[in-house]
Amino acid sequence: MATRAHSVPRFYLGEFADQPPGDRHEPCLYVGQVSTRDIRRRSPKNLAIARGLYDGPRKFSGRTLESHLARIESAAAPDIRRLASRQSSLLTEEICRFVSWQAARTPGWMRLAADWAAEWDPNEEPEVIEPPPDGFEPMTGCDRPMTLHLPSTGDTREAASLEEFKLLHKEGWRWKLSKHDELEMVHVQAWYLRVRHFARLSWTCLYAPQGTSFVTSDRAVTWLADGYADAPPSMLRLPSAQVVAPLTRGLALVGRHEATPLNVTPREINRFVACTATEWVAGPSQNAVQQALEDRAAAYAGTGA
């Protein structure tokens, strides 16, 4: 049976609820659908559910990816709350690890990775911009057949070697990620974001003024580069790249390549979050979510998005 998993952690969603921690009523969020702009109240425990998303081999010291993520979340949760309440000003390693994993683990991002894999041409020499980060070379390799599909017919088959894959690719076959491939790609992507791309950015903590709030989405951690959403991680090298990671309704992180003061409003951050959402936007008030969805619609007016 497929495991019931939260693609966006329940503890994290609770930080955007309309009830403060410890309130006797069950906390809820206002959740707006990107496609329809319909807004409804939902409990954090019933949002961002994806069955079987992280089911797979026990690759993490005998643990599943789901239990690996639970450890990351448990370690980050108290540090996020201390940072949000200004009891601490430290952007700890636990928070940084959580942000990197959240950027790589959502269904929307995994679909993008699968699309990029299908476009990969093994017969072309890749352009090497820089060597991989320290720690990449010692990674343990894994040999297994690669699954391919033929777009014109939908047929699938396996290639036992890279050489066979190259020949089939010339015939029109494309790489189709297996479950093993997906989970390994999530792990490698989260690590690469943490040690290479996010580590190069200057991070600013933004606190929402009284009477305002930040929203989050089914992506939770996202970025724009040269004005493009859904940009590949390689574009995070560009000077224009900006990463936004709302952590609570009162705190958001922004990563940039420059350390100059950042003067933005919660509405501007919320528009950023909404423009890169895949399916939904959520927050502590209907007004905040509605405004974010309206700003997204205005930003994409005439584009068909």
pLDDT tens for each residue of the chain, 305 residues long: 678 889 999 999 999 998 655 556 678 999 999 999 999 999 999 999 988 899 877 666 567 888 899 999 999 999 999 999 999 888 999 999 999 999 999 999 999 999 999 999 999 987 777 888 888 777 766 678 899 999 999 999 999 999 999 999 999 999 999 988 999 899 999 999 999 999 999 999 999 999 999 999 999 899 999 988 889 999 999 999 999 999 999 999 999 999 888 889 999 999 999 999 999 999 999 999 999 999 999 998 866 56
Cβ atoms of 176 and 154 closer than 8 Å: no
Instruction: Report which DSSP code applies to 225.
Output: B
Do 250 and 84 meet the contact criterion of CB atoms below 8 Å apart? Answer: yes
Of 32, 28, 13, nearest to 279 (Cα)?
32
**Domain limits, the chain:** 18-49+201-305, 59-124+142-198
Interval 85-98: pLDDT, tens: 999 888 999 999 99
Task: Compute the distance between CA of residue 197 and CA of residue 194 in angstroms, rounded to an integer.
Answer: 6
Cβ atoms within 10 Å of 165's Cβ, excluding its own = 19
Distances (CA, A) of 101 to 182, 220, 224: 14, 11, 18
Tokens 């990674």 correspond to 139
- Residues of the chain with pLDDT > 90: what percent? 72
pTM of the model: 0.91
